[in-house]
Amino acid sequence: MNSMIRGGTRWKRFAVVMVPSVAATAAIGVALSQGALAASFSVSGQSFKVHVDKLDADGMIQYGAIDAEKNGTPHPVSVSAFNSADLTNMCQSVVTHVPVLGDVTLVLKAGGGGKPAHADKIYIDVAQLKADAEFTDINIGVAAGSSSKGPGMKGGKEQSDPNGFAQEASHATLTDVDQTAWATSAGTFKLNGLNMSLKKGSGKGIECY
């Protein structure tokens, strides 16, 4: 821990995975017609990138788990769960290889113009993250299943240990976030100012980062 700031703990370029990702390719139709995802959804089997200028979240728990692709390939992830989160200037990009055309990148943007996107009971299975982070009232080394600050463990088919190492915090603020995730789910995800585009190709300048 490098410093204490207004009751929280700050790590520059914090290497632990923490930030929610956004929407799902399978839920694009709902998002476009309603401007929000008002039901649970999930994305898995393919990694995707997310950039967020700022995340303000209440009630956090973070613990380790294993995700598996449809072919059974396992991926160790850090599950970050929040009771509620506001996300400013959010971008998600998913690359799909299309025969003949090559790589095609789906880009979703939301939460700009002073109206952050908002999520409740959100879980993110993340493989890599860079961000500036500040946590308030943080506990490190609690058992994942006994955390009281966040929404609890995901359950269901999740491969995780309720007695395993976890950390929790009453509040988390992250800025300039770049992350790669394998899955996300949320009870409610409101995507203010949703904009979707398809771009041929992949990499820097096409994906979110």
Q: Summarize the confidence of residues 53-78 as an average pLDDT.
A: 89
The encoded tokens of residue 31 equal 């998002």
**DSSP state for residue 33 in the 8-state scheme:** H
Q: Model's pTM, two decimal places?
A: 0.81
- The rounded distance, in Å, linking the Cα atoms of 133 and 87 is 14
Q: Would you report the helix, strand and coil content of the chain in percent, each value rounded to 5?
A: 5, 60, 35
76-106 residue pLDDT tens: 999 999 999 999 999 999 898 888 889 999 8
**pLDDT value of position 115:** 96
Enumerate the domain spans of the chain.
3-200
65-95 CB burial, b ≥16 within 10 A, e <16: bebeeeeeeeeebbbbbbbbbbbbbbbbbbb
**pLDDT value of position 46:** 81
- The rounded distance, in Å, linking the Cα atoms of 57 and 24 is 21
Best mean pLDDT range from 12-21, 56-65, 149-158: 56-65
CB 191 within 8 A of CB 31: yes
Q: Summarize the confidence of residues 106-110 as an average pLDDT.
A: 92
The encoded tokens of residue 141 equal 């080394």
Q: Is the pLDDT of residue 31 over 70?
A: no
165-181 residue pLDDT tens: 999 999 999 999 999 99
pLDDT band at 45 (very low <50, low <70, confident <90, very high): low
**pLDDT value of position 158:** 80
pLDDT band at 44 (very low <50, low <70, confident <90, very high): low
The encoded tokens of residue 99 equal 């025969």
